Structure 1
Amino acid sequence: MPLESGLLEILACPACHAPLTDETSAATPELTCTSKACGLAYPVRDGIPVLLVDEARRPA
């Protein structure tokens, strides 16, 4: 399920406040922080972004 139009414009990374990008694939829908220093990937469950640092995946 795609995110609502315009949602990415107002969302920011809770850890560093950088903008997020939609890195949704069929297997793992997620929003990724654009900051090179942070880079956390937040899951999207049932079309709802889970913007909790404890739930985020660290970059590989």
Structure 2
Amino acid sequence: MAVQLDPQLLEILACPCDAHAPLRSGTSAEPGADALTCEACGRSYPVTDGIPVLLLDEALPGTGPAGDDG
């Protein structure tokens, strides 16, 4: 199921990486995934029970800008 976050919350959330880039719902490989993906580094962060887990240690690594991961 796709992430259902308040659009205003999604606007202010940012990747904890050095770029602090915006996040988007889903992943490149699975747009409906319960995850948020950084638009700069491509890391994917899980969303557990509707709560984004924005910890670098919990992120799935990306290989570059979002859309190039996976």
**Normalising by structure 1, what TM-score?**
0.82
Selected match of 1:50 from 32, 41, 53: 53
Could you list the runs of 4 or more consecutive aligned residues of structure 1 that deviate by over 2 angstroms after TM superposition? none
List runs of 5+ in structure 2 lacking aligned partners: 63-69
Partner letter of residue 24 of structure 2? T
Superposed CA RMSD: 1.5
CA displacement at 1:5 relative to structure 2: 3.1
Give the letter for the 2:39 counterpart: T
The answer to whether structure 1 residue 39 and structure 2 residue 63 are counterparts is no
Give structure 1 stretches of 5+ with no counterpart. Answer: none
Distance 1:13 1:47 in 2: 17
How many corresponding residue pairs?
A: 56
Structure 2 counterpart SS, 1:18: coil
The percent identity for this pair of structures is 55
